A and B are shown apart, each in its own frame.
Chain A
Amino acid sequence: QQPVQSPQAVILREGEDAVINCSSSKALYSVHWYRQKHGEAPVFLMILLKGGEQKGHEKISASFNEKKQQSSLYLTASQLSYSGTYFCGTVTFQGAQKLVFGQGTRLTINP
C-alpha cells in the first residue's frame, strides 16, 4: 500500500527549514528517501531501518518512528540546490520486500 506524504508542496525562502512527512498504514521495515530534480533521475538520499533511528545527509536528516509508522525528512537552512521533488519509499512487513513510493512532495526554494 502506498505511503502518504505531506505536504504535497512547500515553498521556502533560502535559509528556512522544512519538514516532509511520510506515513504508512502498515508496520514498516524500512523507509527510503529520494530527491528528484526536474528532468533528472531520482537520487537516493538515505535509508532508515530502526524505530527512532535518525540519519543525516548534508543538512538533510530524517527520523523513523516505528510506533507511529512514519518517517520525517528535515531540511535545515535550505539551499537553492535542495529544490526538487522528494519521495519516500517504504518496505512493509506485509509487503514482501517490495519498495512502494509515495506521491512525492515538491519543494521550491526561492532566493
Chain B
Amino acid sequence: ETGVTQTPRHLVMGMTNKKSLKCEQHLGHNAMYWYKQSAKKPLELMFVYSLEERVENNSVPSRFSPECPNSSHLFLHLHTLQPEDSALYLCASSQDPRVAGPTDTQYFGPGTRLTVL
C-alpha cells in the first residue's frame, strides 16, 4: 500500500449505531488530519494530530471522537450521528506544519462516503 488509505470506502449507519473510520498513511509523516466534505461546501477541517498529540479541534460535536494511536494511524469514532453528518470524510497527512511551516503539503486519502439514515 502506498500513500494514504481509508476504510471503509462507503458506510451506511443508523442514528443509534457506533462505527469507526480508519486511516493509514505510508508516507512517514508526523501529522494527520480529518476533514468533512459536504456537497457544495468547502473542505471543513475537523481535527489535527501531530506526533499523536491532538493540536486542533475545530468545534466538532462530541459525537465525533478521534483517536491517533501512532503517527501512521488515525481513527474517527462515530456514535449517535445525525442525518446532516452525511458527507465524505477525508483523511490527510503531512510532514508536520510546526516543522515545515507554510511549505507543509497535505496528501489525502480517497475518503469514506458516510450516509446516516
Contacts and interface: CB of A to CB of B under 8 A. Distances in A.
Interface in B72-117: 90, 97-98, 101-111
Interface string A3-33: 0000000000000000000000000011010
A101 interface: yes
A49 interface: yes
B15 interface: no
B110 A41 contact: yes
A58 interface: no
Nearest to A97: B97
B61 interface: no
A98 interface: yes
Interface in A59-111: 87, 89, 91, 97-104
A99 B104 contact: yes
Interface residues of A, number: 23
Contact of B106 (A2, A30, A99, A103): A99
Interface string B29-63: 00000000000011101000000000010000000
Given A2-B42, A98-B97, A101-B43, A91 B102 contact: yes
A92 to B, nearest CB: 9
Given A2-B42, A102-B42, A104-B42, A97 B110 contact: no
Interface of A: 2, 29-30, 32, 34, 40-44, 47, 49, 87, 89, 91, 97-104
Given A41-B4, A43-B108, 7 more contacts: A30-B103, A42-B108, A47-B105, A91-B101, A97-B97, A101-B43, A104-B42
